[in-house]
Amino acid sequence: MAIDKTSSPTWVKVVIIAVALSFVASVAGLAAIGSGGASRSSSSSNDAAATQSSIAAKHQPAIDALLAAQKAKPEDIDIITQLGHAYYDYAAELTNAGLADAAQPLWAVAISYYDQVLAKRPDDAQVLGDRAFAAYYSGAPDAAESLKRFIATNDPNLAQQIDAAKQYLSQIGASVPATQSSGTTSTP
């Protein structure tokens, strides 16, 4: 069965191409790292920079494609949502790699895109949750309020994320963590 690709929106084509390029770039990056024979004597700052660079190479092509799609359709709420998710995923991977400082501006960008979505779709439970988690991980002053708003959705499809939000909300009184261990970030 053939698929008529001519009827696909341009932004979908751009995203697919960006994902394919991202995959090729990540494979090429891994090959370059593997052939370099990394020395064990390199400093941890070089390792952190290499990790950050590798993560950026993985996420930046998709973000660039989505930014181009948004430029073509600035009011498309689905593109804006995907941009929020792309920055969220990028920040989450940096945070899980122990690079919370590098993730901070990305959490803020994700929140700004999620705020744009919520201005038009204030009851979007998934976006409310992602925005709440981004606020929590970034240490935003409205993190507790965002978590409460997400919890109040009581969306049965997001029960695990709501449980995590309740745990995070209980921790906020003490402090908002700068980093989290791998696996605690709930990505969209």
Decide: 62 and 18 in contact? Cβ < 8 Å: yes
Count of helices and strands (H, E) across the chain: 7, 0
Given a contact cutoff of 8 angstroms between Cβ atoms, the answer to whether 70 and 79 are in contact is: yes
Amino acid identity at 84: G
Polymer length in residues for the chain: 188
Non-local CB neighbours of 82 within 8 Å, separated by 6+ positions: 15, 66
| Predicted pLDDT of residue 109 | 96
Segment 106-112 shows an average pLDDT of 96
Q: Determine the pLDDT at residue 26.
A: 54
Q: What is the mean pLDDT of the chain?
A: 80
Residue 38 confidence (pLDDT): 45
Identity of the residue numbered 5: K
Contacts of 65 (CB under 8 A, 6+ apart): 14, 15, 17, 18, 19
DSSP state of 74: T
pLDDT of 49: 87
Q: Which residues contact 10 (CB under 8 A, 6 or more apart)?
A: 69, 72
Top pLDDT among 15 and 108 is at 108
pLDDT in tens, 131-141: 999 999 999 99
Nearest CA to 85 out of 140, 179, 15 is that of 15
**CATH class belonging to 7-172:** mainly alpha
Closest CA to 177 of 148, 135, 147: 135
- In whole angstroms, give the CA distance from residue 17 to residue 119: 30
Tell me the mean pLDDT in the region 168-187: 56
152 CB-near residues (< 8 Å, 6+ apart): none
Q: Which residue has the higher pLDDT, 72 or 181?
A: 72
Query: pLDDT tens digits for 63-101?
Result: 999 999 999 999 999 999 999 999 999 999 999 999 999
